[in-house]
């Protein structure tokens, strides 16, 4: 089954739908059902028994479980085979997302990694960036996060103040600023960080490794629920990001 059109926002509410683009459980193939079953088995064995500990905000435990899911292949379902994934369809990926929904905090951390933490590089990165990062993200060796929101910029993303200035030698962009409410912040290895270059009117995205000097991760927010999913602020203090990571 192939999805032939990507609908914009709420367009599905008013647009005519081709019957060929509607998928129903009766049409899932054996491979798709097997993958979804593997995901449910993983939750039953690795996530559900540790739910109480995860909900206490144990960052290290969550990261270890995420890595295990990557080793099993669950993080690379829709990643092309050339980058270490299975190259499965959107429908198969959604079956995995549905199965993961029973994982409470794990599902948030897992899907943030597989979606906004990985896909920006897959969709918009250059060949070198893809080859360097995607296989490790697909296999769980690296955990991803997405850093857009700031204290004064939420839905109005272009109001963000995080800046990126090219160094005199052209080798680095120097990042300064602050992000907030970042899912996976406490244990992510890779951050997709949005900043303005030399006060540009629009945002640019950078691949920032959490180990770069000047990256400071704040404590987790005290949330009412989903406490096992790390949500924290991140500060960038003269962070030198290789120019090739733009």
Q: pLDDT digit string (tens) for 19-59?
A: 777 777 778 889 999 999 999 999 999 999 999 999 998 99
144-245: CATH topology is: Butyryl-CoA Dehydrogenase, subunit A; domain 2 (2.40.110)
Domain ranges of the chain: 11-138, 144-245
Tokens of 104: 């409470």
Q: What is the mean pLDDT of residues 207-226?
A: 95
Q: Which CATH superfamily is domain 11-138 in?
A: Acyl-CoA dehydrogenase/oxidase, N-terminal domain (1.10.540.10)
DSSP E strands: which ranges in 167-230? Answer: 172-183, 190-197, 204-209, 215-220
From residue 234, alpha-carbon distances to 5, 79, 200, 203, 205 in Å are 36, 28, 22, 18, 16
Q: What is the pLDDT of residue 19?
A: 74
Q: How would residue 156 be classed by pLDDT, with cut points 50, 70 and 90?
A: confident
Place 16 in a pLDDT band, splitting at 50, 70 and 90.
confident
Choice between 142 and 24, residue whose per-residue pLDDT is larger: 142
């Amino acid at each position: 089954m192939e999805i032939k059109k990507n609908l914009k926002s709420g367009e599905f509410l008013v647009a005519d739908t081709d019957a060929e683009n509607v998928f129903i459980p009766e049409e899932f193939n054996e491979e798709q059902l097997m993958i979804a079953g593997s995901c449910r088995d993983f939750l039953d064995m690795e996530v559900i028994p540790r739910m109480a500990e995860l909900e206490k905000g144990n960052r290290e435990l969550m990261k270890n479980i995420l890595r295990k899911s990557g080793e099993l292949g669950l993080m690379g379902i829709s990643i092309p085979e050339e980058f270490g994934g299975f190259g499965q369809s959107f429908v198969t990926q959604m079956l995995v997302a549905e199965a993961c929904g029973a994982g409470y905090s794990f599902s948030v951390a897992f899907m943030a990694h597989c979606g906004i933490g990985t896909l920006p590089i897959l969709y918009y990165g250059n060949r070198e960036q893809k080859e360097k990062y995607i296989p490790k993200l697909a296999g769980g060796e690296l955990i991803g996060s997405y850093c857009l929101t700031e204290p004064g910029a939420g839905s109005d993303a272009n109001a963000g103040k995080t800046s990126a200035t090219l160094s005199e030698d052209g080798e680095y962009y120097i990042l300064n600023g602050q992000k907030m409410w970042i899912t996976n912040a406490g244990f992510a290895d890779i951050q997709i960080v949005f900043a303005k270059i030399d006060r540009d009117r629009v945002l640019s995205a950078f691949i920032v490794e959490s180990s770069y000097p000047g990256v400071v991760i704040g404590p987790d927010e005290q949330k009412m629920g989903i406490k096992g999913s790390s949500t924290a602020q991140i500060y960038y203090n003269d962070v030198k990001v290789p120019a090739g990571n733009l």
